[in-house]
Amino acid sequence: MSAYLQTRMTTASDVSITLDGFSRSFGAITALDDVDLTIDGPQIVGVAGPNGSGKTTLIRCLLGLLRPSNGSARVNDTDPADLRSTERARIGYMPQHEAVYNDLTVRENVDFFARLYGVRDREAAVERAIEFVDLGERTDAAVTELSGGMVRRTSLACALVHDPDVLLLDEPTVGVDPELRASMWTSFRERRDAGALMMVSTHYLGEATNCDRVLFLRDGRVLAFDAPESFLDATGTTDLEDAFLALLDRRTATNRDGTGTPGADDAVEVVR
Ligand SMILES: Nc1ncnc2c1ncn2[C@@H]1O[C@H](COP(=O)(O)OP(=O)(O)OP(=O)(O)O)[C@@H](O)[C@H]1O
């Protein structure tokens, strides 16, 4: 484990995310529809689902950037709209589209975010975050000189320079090559082991196996929420893509028989 994480090992983590009957609409579009969710303690939760299923909306709601149309959300037991700056500093956010400055170097970008959060011992924190994403050799390169994967890693360093224990990462591995993706997931697991709760949205269902639990969304509704291996066992499939399709079939069949929700015979509990 890196020195970075050794310095932040927590003894008891009180990280949590809950949603209760949470819905969010944009005009006629219901982006999130009556979502109930309880996530307690350090873990990696993958958020998967087709385009437009509500992944980004979920993350933006948890940040307090969007208010619910109905229901409520809590992050570390506080409504995201009521988070004070100290509580907000416990949360790290990596947006889907890079939020780094092209004309600044890697170090300058990460330092900028460290300043925003009022990080103490800033220089060391910036170095640690850059080391964590393995960009030590490109510290002084301008963002315009970096590859796409390196830009994603810079963005990740900006999201965690203030040492948050709740990380909301919107498609952090998109456009990143397989080798780098594997090393990012190793880093995520290290952070989880150091006490962080991470919510990671992804299009790559295959990489959701790196998560402790996977939240499958479809049309803004929770299709299922369980451990990856439980999905495979319950659907008799060997990869999550097939499991997701099997769940979709099952849901469609259940809807056809008029019950609207899976019955008691369904092997996968829809929401735990
Ligand atoms: N600001 C907005 N105004 C209007 N509609 C929105 C807005 N944000 C999201 N939506 C709609 O809400 C739905 C969910 O969008 P969201 O971006 O959360 O999906 P997603 O699962 O993250 O999609 P993708 O995988 O394509 O990133 C979509 O139908 C989208 O068009």
Task: Calculate the CA dihedral of residues 251, 257, 259, 260 and round it to 10 degrees.
Answer: 40
Domains and CATH numbers, the chain: 16-90+165-256 (3.40.50.300), 95-163 (no CATH)
Find out whether the beta carbon of 118 lies less than 6 Å from any atom of ligand 1: no
Measured from the Cα of 66, ligand 1's closest atom is 1
For ligand 1, atom 17, which residue shows the shortest CA distance? 56
Prediction pTM value = 0.87
Mean pLDDT to the nearest integer, 261-269: 37
pLDDT at position 27: 95
Buried b (16+ CB within 10 A) or exposed e, 105-118: bbbbbbbebbeebe
How much is the ipTM here? Answer: 0.98
Inform me whether the pLDDT recorded for 205 exceeds 70: yes
Please tell me if the CB atom of residue 69 comes closer than 6 angstroms to any atom of ligand 1: no
Instruction: Tell me the sheet residues that pair with 94.
Output: 169
Q: Confidence band (pLDDT; 50, 70, 90) for 239?
A: confident
In the predicted model, is pLDDT for residue 61 greater than 70? yes
Write down the pLDDT at residue 177: 78
Give me the phi and psi of 183, to 5 degrees please: -75, -30
Ligand 1 pocket check for 95: Cβ under 6 Å: no
Centre of ligand 1 from the C-alpha of residue 233, in Å? 31
**pLDDT at 241 (0 to 100):** 86
CA–CA dist 254, 16 (Å, integer): 32
pLDDT value at residue 11: 41
The rounded mean pLDDT for the chain is 86
Question: Is the CA virtual torsion 177, 178, 180, 186 positive or negative?
Answer: positive
